[in-house]
């Protein structure tokens, strides 16, 4: 656990963020998803990916949101990350990105509201 705290401290210092000495869980609370509405996400995604059909993206997104709200899980057992799963197949944030925590990554607001947190759900042990 001490090594994890040291990694967290170094990462936070490198990114000019304050380190809370209490424990590494405080770092997790401070680094969460950025909530975004479905319509707003579609607009951003299509602006960055003009070849994407907005109607098809919206249909895939709505289906993925519905599945997430009914408990869809990644192969590792964690809840899916809707925004990543729309393009990469159903998986959690960590399995899609290889990163433990989202940093300025979007997630659909209605999914976060149901889950009760902007944090990625913990992967099962």
24 lies in the same domain as 35? no
23 lies in the same domain as 36? no
Q: What confidence score (pLDDT) does residue 116 get?
A: 80
9 lies in the same domain as 51? no
50 lies in the same domain as 88? yes
Rounded to 10 degrees, what is the CA torsion of 9, 99, 112, 47?
A: 120
Packing angle between helix 38-48 and helix 54-69, nearest 10 degrees?
140
pLDDT tens-digit readout, 109-123: 999 999 885 555 555
| 72 vs 2, higher pLDDT | 72
What total number of domains does the chain contain? Answer: 2
Place of tokens 């099962």: 124
52 lies in the same domain as 13? no
pTM score, whole prediction: 0.68
Residue range(s) defining the domain that contains residue 55: 31-125
70 lies in the same domain as 117? yes
Q: How far is CA 71 from CA 76, 111, 117, in A?
A: 14, 10, 15
Pairwise CA distance, residues 104 & 24, whole Å: 19
114 lies in the same domain as 81? yes
Q: What confidence score (pLDDT) does residue 122 get?
A: 53
């Amino acid at each position: 656990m001490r090594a994890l705290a040291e990694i967290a401290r170094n990462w936070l210092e490198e990114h000019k963020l304050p380190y809370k000495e209490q424990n590494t869980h405080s770092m997790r609370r401070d680094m969460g998803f950025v909530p975004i509405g479905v319509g707003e996400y579609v607009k951003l995604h299509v602006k960055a990916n003009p070849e994407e059909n907005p109607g098809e993206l919206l249909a895939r997104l709505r289906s993925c949101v519905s599945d997430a709200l009914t408990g869809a899980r990644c192969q590792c057992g964690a809840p899916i990350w809707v925004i990543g799963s729309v393009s990469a197949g159903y998986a959690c944030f960590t399995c899609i990105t290889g990163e433990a925590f989202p940093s300025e990554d979007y997630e659909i607001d209605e999914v976060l509201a149901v889950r009760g947190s902007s944090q990625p759900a913990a992967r099962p042990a």
